């Protein structure tokens, strides 16, 4: 989260044992939630990119070395530049989050989570320091170490490891808040029921996100490019970004489904809220959005191949039709009301042809599972067919339409990330830490503590 | 003395042609660069031989019967330290064997060694992989402790979801409706006779084909490898990539006919093979002594407290069993079966002459997907089991 | 060179046919008993027996209670095999469940905290009536064929439905 945390972390840990059990509470809970929610969204939108770039950049550099392609090197260098520029933005927000909002509004929560997650947070903070040092080192030694590519790629490898570790450590905390385990045992804590699914889901997600993001960025640069060389580069990089993003995203349905299963087994309330409760419309939107993302990508593949008359464009268009049908299946709502309980309370939990408000085609099992499977299979087929067609593509000839699709894709991805963050953070409600600490009281449910006497308003 | 030995050798050679056989086997020209990667095949062979030897000696004590199997191994565990080490070596070399086979397959896939004329090397290799898997599965049934019994129950139940003939297949394997004495006898027979009787001739075929076509190595051993080194990624015209003058515009099979730099298999490659294999055997021995082969309580179908945990190499399949919902259970059969068919078909799908893995993304990327899915399922499965 | 009548077998063709025929005879004579041997257990009727489970008078209402019972094993084995029997009394009905999950036949257990039967292998869930309510199981929890004499429960070593 921040370098600051590395320094104040131990101090906070000491403080946590000294502080009174009730931290001063913010009075405007809703306002605090809105503030923290929007800041967290902004933070994750930038931090996800930085983290993804820290992992993908070195990988692209390695690929470029193996293939001896200068464009890969240029792209990796660009990602390095992005990290050096945006690291500070991300960390500024993170510091703001911790020092002002978390400590200020959610003091009791913060002291508790620092006590529970002392080691993960400490490692996280120091990997952050490591990451920022390595990122600058990696970027600024690019030219000096040109003749020592092996050394430079080793620095990149360390950067990727640091980036991954950082995400893993913060995911330990985040997953613990949903599915708490015995916090005394650091291994139980690090391997709590949702920590694997969340870490895999987020790591792959960050990797996909940076691909879509630089795809969109390169599309804009392509449209403004003056020289033929730049046009070639940005056309290729945009395609590469999208291809990479889709390749990563198509792994996500399996991981996400498994994640949901773990939530069902270990945090049933949250799962119910997501599937049948107030969050079910958001969840439905999320699964639909995933289909729209795959569809958009397939259309880009088909169009990009057709522009240069490369083989495979026709089949890719057929795949995009399949993707439309799958998305339509995935978008079926199960209960035609806000929540299932509302429908059931009205006595309308019958299929709609019997006058009820239930649409059996929208059930998770088996229809949404089938839709997720088809997403994955069609996306794999699309990626493979696009790769088969690529030798026939001449870079630098793309039309505006394709570049617009790339920009759209980046926007859709951001919408996806915000949606997922919204579901994740609201799924726990009314708890901050599932079953242990509520948002309102910020106090442990299991070990009952006296509620603080209401203060007279100033 | 030496002359007498030489004469005896000549006498023997005249009757068996041993000299030319050895020469063919030992003085084969193999690629020099990257040769440490090419030790995985021989490591696999050594580990399989380890299985054969320890397996033979385990049958000197083991009794394949539901009342005696567990008791005989329990006796081994309690009263026979060296026998326990033999069993430990059998188990741990099996685990490491499965892992090394996986690496060997990935290496072969990556280097494109399965291409013409080596398609059948790959096909026999896939066959060997499947046979070793069957060995691992049936071997896991034999101790008849809780872990073995429940593995047998779950694994033999999976084929019952085959459409139409499912229950028949399950009953065929179990020798009845439920896992019992006949299941154990059948698994034992399959494990010690049926599969080895196919496995070892197939290993012979695999090695004969290897010698017939020679070790391929990988693209770095060929002239074509340097083709893209100065490459510019902008093609002047569609389809054709820019190729530096000394090399053919389109890579052909001829380009990959003979490695650039070779040395004798014996002793240069055998040295590397020996180092890796010996290291693995030492590792197996350490694990066999330090951890050994576990033996849980005797099989008890009436348990309501035991939590069956699959063998680690079943984890991806087990995770599929968790994820696939009730209406779609046959998928658990379809997905692995489709994977196996794709593996067998690989050399007939990917027929282009290009061997450089970085220049044939249309094959490497789906391959990477397959590996990633297996790794992800394993990760998710282990996380789930840890939190049971 | 004289042309032979194409309908007449040459000496060579006769030998080829003879070899193939000999091979076929060996294959058939070996194949029939071996295949028969392999599939014979499928046609053997399992021995059906009644076994006493015990007195179920003290089984509390709406609380699945586990009993053990022994059945003869397959084929030649003389030692009995143990099986778990879950007795559930509810609304005057008595149901007798096995612990065999309908998904992959793992050992199902009653979880008091969940108020459901849980299969620990793949997370299958059944409610107190044995209905599959969660996870992958495709069918309800199997029930034993049983009879109750007074308060004594007897079960057969077969289920009411094939699994």
Task: Give pLDDT, residue C114.
Answer: 83
Q: Residue A432 has what pLDDT?
A: 77
Does residue B324 lie within any of the structural domains? Answer: no
Is residue A90 within 8 A of residue A163, CB to CB? The reply is no
The per-residue pLDDT for B352 is: 83
The answer, yes or no, to whether residue A400 has pLDDT greater than 90, is yes
Residue pair C42/B167 in contact (Cβ under 8 Å)? The answer is: no
Query: Is C3 a residue whose pLDDT tops 90?
Result: no
Q: What is the pLDDT of residue B300?
A: 93
Mean pLDDT of chain B: 89
Whole-number pLDDT of residue B388 = 76
pLDDT band at B177 (very low <50, low <70, confident <90, very high): confident
Of A37 and C34, the structure prediction assigns the larger pLDDT to: C34
| B249 has pLDDT over 50 | no
Instruction: With a cut of 80, say whether residue B106 has pLDDT above it.
Output: yes
The answer, yes or no, to whether residue B116 has pLDDT greater than 60, is yes
Evaluate if residue A289 carries a pLDDT over 80.
Answer: yes
Report chain C's terminal Cα–Cα distance, integer Å.
72
Distances (CA, A) of B178 to B108, B188, B276, C155: 41, 17, 44, 17
Residue of C nearest to A366 (CA): C136
Q: pLDDT per residue over B38-83, tens digit each?
A: 999 999 999 999 999 999 999 999 999 999 999 999 999 999 999 9
CA dist A141 and A161 (Å) reads 18
pLDDT at residue B135 is higher than 90: yes
Q: What phi and psi values does residue C159 have, to the nearest 5 degrees? A: -95, 160
pLDDT of residue B259: 84
**Measured between CB atoms, does B227 come within 8 Å of chain A?**
no
> By percentage, how much of chain A surpasses pLDDT 70?
89
Among A30-39, A162-171, B61-70, the minimum mean pLDDT is found in: A30-39
Q: Does B190 reside within a domain? A: yes
**Mean pLDDT for the stretch of residues B266-288:** 95
* B157 contacts chain C (CB < 8 A): yes
Least Cα distance to C62 among C99, C109, C115, C98 occurs for C115
A44 pLDDT band (50/70/90 cuts)? confident
Which pLDDT value is given to residue A96? 81
pLDDT band at C144 (very low <50, low <70, confident <90, very high): very high
The answer to whether A261 contacts C134, with C-beta atoms less than 8 Å apart, is no
pTM for this predicted structure: 0.88
Evaluate if residue B35 carries a pLDDT over 90.
no
Cβ atoms B86, B51 nearer than 8 A: no
Poorest-confidence range of A225-229, B177-181, B228-232? B228-232
In a domain, B356, yes or no: no
pLDDT at B104 over 70: yes
Task: Say whether the peptide bond before residue A366 is cis (omega within 30 degrees of 0).
Answer: yes
Window 312-351 of B: residues touching A by CB (8 A cutoff) are: 319, 322-328
Evaluate whether B355 touches B111 at the Cβ level (below 8 Å). yes
Q: Flag whether pLDDT at A132 surpasses 80.
A: yes
ipTM: 0.91
- Judged against a pLDDT cut of 60, whether residue A19 lies above it is answered with no
Residue C124: name the closest of B311, A258, A265, B380 by CA: A265
Q: How far apart are CA A267 and CA A429, in angstroms?
A: 11
Q: Are B155 and B308 in contact (CB under 8 A)?
A: no
Give pLDDT, residue B246. Answer: 36
Q: Is some CB atom of chain B closer than 8 A to the CB atom of A404?
A: no
Asked, for residue B376, whether it belongs to a domain, the answer is no
Would you call A388 and B362 a contact, using CB atoms and an 8 Å cutoff?
yes
With contact defined as 3+ CB pairs under 8 Å, the chains touching A are B, C
Cβ–Cβ contact B358 with A under 8 A: yes
Residue A265 at interface with chain C, using a CB cutoff of 8 Å: yes
Report yes or no: B178 at the A interface, CB cutoff 8 Å: no
User: What CATH number corresponds to the domain at position B42?
Assistant: 1.20.810.10
Residue A95, pLDDT score: 82
Range of the domain at B257: 32-217+249-309
DSSP E strands: which ranges in A26-137?
Answer: none
On average, the pLDDT of chain C sits at 90
d(CA A182, CA B385): 16
Give residue C163's pLDDT.
78
Closest residue, chain A, to B241 (C-alpha): A391
Q: In this structure, is residue B115 part of a structural domain?
A: yes
Which residues have CB under 8 Å from B386's CB, separation 6+? A191
Q: Is residue B11 part of a domain?
A: no
Residue B51 lies in a domain: yes
Taking all residues of chain A, what is their mean pLDDT, rounded to a whole number? 86
A303-327, pLDDT tens digit by residue?
Answer: 999 999 888 999 999 999 999 999 9
For residue B237, is it within any domain?
no
Q: From A310, B312, B177, B273, select the one nearest C71 (Cα to Cα).
A: B177
Subunits next to B (3 or more Cβ pairs <8 Å) are A, C
The owner of tokens 């029930």 is C143
The count of domains in chain B is: 1
Strand ranges, E, within A253-293: none
The confidence band for A28, taking pLDDT boundaries of 50, 70 and 90, is low
Query: What letters, b where the CB count within 10 A reaches 16 and e where it falls short, cover A423-449?
Result: bbbbbbbebbbbebbbbebbbbeeeee
Tell me the residues of chain B between 316 and 335 that have a Cβ less than 8 Å away from chain C. Answer: 318, 321-322, 324-327, 329
Give yes or no for a contact between A186 and A192, defined as CB atoms under 8 angstroms apart: no
Q: Is the pLDDT of residue A156 over 60?
A: yes
* Tokens linked to A217: 């960025």
Per-residue model confidence as pLDDT tens digits over A83-125: 999 888 888 888 888 777 777 777 778 888 888 888 899 999 8
Q: Is A13 a residue whose pLDDT tops 50?
A: yes
The SS3 assignment for A27 reads coil
Segment among A238-252, C24-38, C59-73 with least mean pLDDT: C59-73
Q: Write out the DSSP string of B180-219.
A: SHHHHHHHHHIIIIIHHHHHHHHHHHHHHHHHHH-----G
């Amino acid at each position: 989260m921040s370098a600051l945390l590395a320094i104040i972390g131990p101090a906070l840990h000491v403080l946590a044992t000294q502080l009174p059990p009730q931290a001063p509470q913010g009075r405007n809970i809703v306002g605090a939630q809105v503030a923290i929610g929007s800041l967290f969204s902004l933070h994750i939108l930038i931090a996800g990119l930085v983290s993804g770039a820290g992992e993908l950049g070195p990988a692209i550099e390695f690929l470029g070395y193996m293939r001896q392609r200068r464009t890969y090197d240029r792209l990796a260098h660009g990602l390095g530049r992005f990290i050096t520029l945006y690291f500070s933005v991300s960390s500024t927000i993170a510091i703001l989050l911790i020092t002002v909002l978390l400590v200020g509004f959610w003091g009791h929560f913060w002291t508790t989570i620092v006590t529970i997650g002392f080691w993960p947070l400490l490692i996280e903070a120091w990997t952050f320091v490591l990451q920022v040092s390595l990122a600058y080192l990696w970027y600024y030694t690019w030219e000096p170490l040109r003749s020592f590519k092996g050394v430079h790629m080793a620095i990149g490898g360390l950067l990727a490891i640091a980036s991954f570790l950082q995400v893993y450590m913060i995911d330990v905390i985040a997953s613990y808040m949903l599915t708490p385990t015995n916090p005394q045992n650091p291994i139980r804590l690090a391997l709590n029921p949702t920590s694997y699914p969340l870490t895999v889901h987020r790591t792959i997600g960050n990797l996909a996100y940076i691909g879509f993001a630089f795809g969109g960025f390169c599309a804009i640069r392509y449209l403004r490019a003056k020289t033929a060389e730049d046009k070639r580069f940005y056309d290729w990089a945009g395609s590469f970004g999208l291809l990479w993003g889709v390749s990563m995203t198509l792994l996500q349905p399996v991981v996400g489904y498994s994640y949901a299963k773990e939530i069902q087994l270990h945090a049933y309330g949250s799962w119910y809220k997501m599937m049948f409760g107030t969050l079910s419309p958001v969840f439905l939107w999320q699964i639909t959005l995933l289909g729209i993302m795959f569809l958009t990508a397939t259309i880009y593949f088909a169009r990009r191949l057709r522009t240069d008359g490369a083989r495979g464009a026709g089949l890719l268009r057929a795949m995009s039709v399949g993707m439309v049908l799958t998305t339509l299946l995935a978008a079926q709502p199960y209960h035609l009301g806000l929540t299932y309980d509302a429908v059931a309370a009205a006595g309308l939990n019958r299929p709609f042809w019997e006058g009820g408000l239930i649409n059996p085609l929208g059930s998770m099992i088996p229809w949404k599972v089938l839709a997720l499977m088809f997403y994955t299979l069609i996306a794999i087929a699309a990626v493979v067919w696009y790769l088969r067609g690529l030798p026939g593509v001449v870079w630098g000839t793309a039309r505006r339409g394709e570049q617009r699709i790339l920009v759209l894709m980046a926007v859709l991805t951001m919408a996806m990330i915000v949606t997922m963050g919204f579901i994740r953070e609201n799924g726990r409600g009314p708890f901050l830490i599932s079953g242990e600490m509520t948002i309102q009281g910020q106090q442990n449910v299991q070990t009952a503590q006296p509620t603080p006497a209401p203060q007279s308003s100033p | 003395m030496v002359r007498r030995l030489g004469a005896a050798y000549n006498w023997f050679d005249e009757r068996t042609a041993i000299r030319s056989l050895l020469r063919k086997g030992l003085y084969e020209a193999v690629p020099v660069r990257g040769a440490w990667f090419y030790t995985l095949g021989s490591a696999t062979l050594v580990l399989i031989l380890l299985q054969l030897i320890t397996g033979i000696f385990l049958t000197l004590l083991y009794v394949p019967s539901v009342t005696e199997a567990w008791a005989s191994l329990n006796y081994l565990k309690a009263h026979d330290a060296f026998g326990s080490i033999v069993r430990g070596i059998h188990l741990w070399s099996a685990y490491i064997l499965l892992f090394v086979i996986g690496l060997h397959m990935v290496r072969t896939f990556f280097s494109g060694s399965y291409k013409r004329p080596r398609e059948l090397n790959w096909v026999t290799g896939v066959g060997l992989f499947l046979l070793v898997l069957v060995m691992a599965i049936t071997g896991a049934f034999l101790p008849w402790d809780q872990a073995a019994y429940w593995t047998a129950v779950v694994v033999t139940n999976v084929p019952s979801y085959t459409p139409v003939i499912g229950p028949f297949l399950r009953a065929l394997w179990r020798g009845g409706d439920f896992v019992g004495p006949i299941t154990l006898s059948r698994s034992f027979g399959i494990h010690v006779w049926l599969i080895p009787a196919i496995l070892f001739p197939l290993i012979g075929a695999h090695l004969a084909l290897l010698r017939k076509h020679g070790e391929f190595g990988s693209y770095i051993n060929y002239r074509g490898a340097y083709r893209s080194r100065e490459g510019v990624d902008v093609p002047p015209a569609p389809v054709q990539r820019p190729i530096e003058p000394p090399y053919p515009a389109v890579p052909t099979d001829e380009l990959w006919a003979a490695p650039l730099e070779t040395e004798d298999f014996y002793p240069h490659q055998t040295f590397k093979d020996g180092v890796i294999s010996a290291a693995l055997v030492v590792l197996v021995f350490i694990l066999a002594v330090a951890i050994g082969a576990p033996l849980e309580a005797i099989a008890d179908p009436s348990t309501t407290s035991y939590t069956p945990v699959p063998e680690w190499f079943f984890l991806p399949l087990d995770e599929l069993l968790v994820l696939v919902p009730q209406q779609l259970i046959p998928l658990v059969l379809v997905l692995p079966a489709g994977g196996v068919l794709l593996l067998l078909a690989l050399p007939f799908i990917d027929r282009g002459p290009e061997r450089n893995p970085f220049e044939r993304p249309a094959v490497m990327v789906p391959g990477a997907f397959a590996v990633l899915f297996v790794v992800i399922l394993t990760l998710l499965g282990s996380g789930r089991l840890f939190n049971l | 060179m004289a042309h032979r009548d194409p309908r007449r077998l040459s000496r060579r063709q006769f030998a080829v046919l003879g070899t193939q025929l000999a091979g076929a005879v060996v294959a058939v004579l070996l194949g029939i008993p071996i295949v028969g041997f392999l599939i014979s257990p499928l046609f053997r009727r399992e021995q059906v027996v009644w076994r006493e489970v015990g007195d179920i008078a003290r089984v509390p209402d709406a609380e699945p209670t586990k009993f053990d019972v022994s059945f003869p094993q397959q084929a030649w084995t003389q030692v009995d095999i143990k099986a778990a029997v879950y007795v559930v009394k509810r609304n005057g009905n008595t149901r007798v469940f096995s612990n065999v999950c309908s998904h992959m036949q793992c050992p199902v257990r009653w979880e008091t905290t969940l108020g459901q039967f849980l299969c620990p292998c793949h997370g299958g869930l059944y409610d107190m009536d044995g209905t599959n309510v969660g996870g992958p199981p495709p069918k309800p929890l199997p029930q034993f064929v049983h009879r109750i004499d007074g308060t004594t429960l007897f079960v057969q070593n077969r289920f009411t439905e094939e699994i």
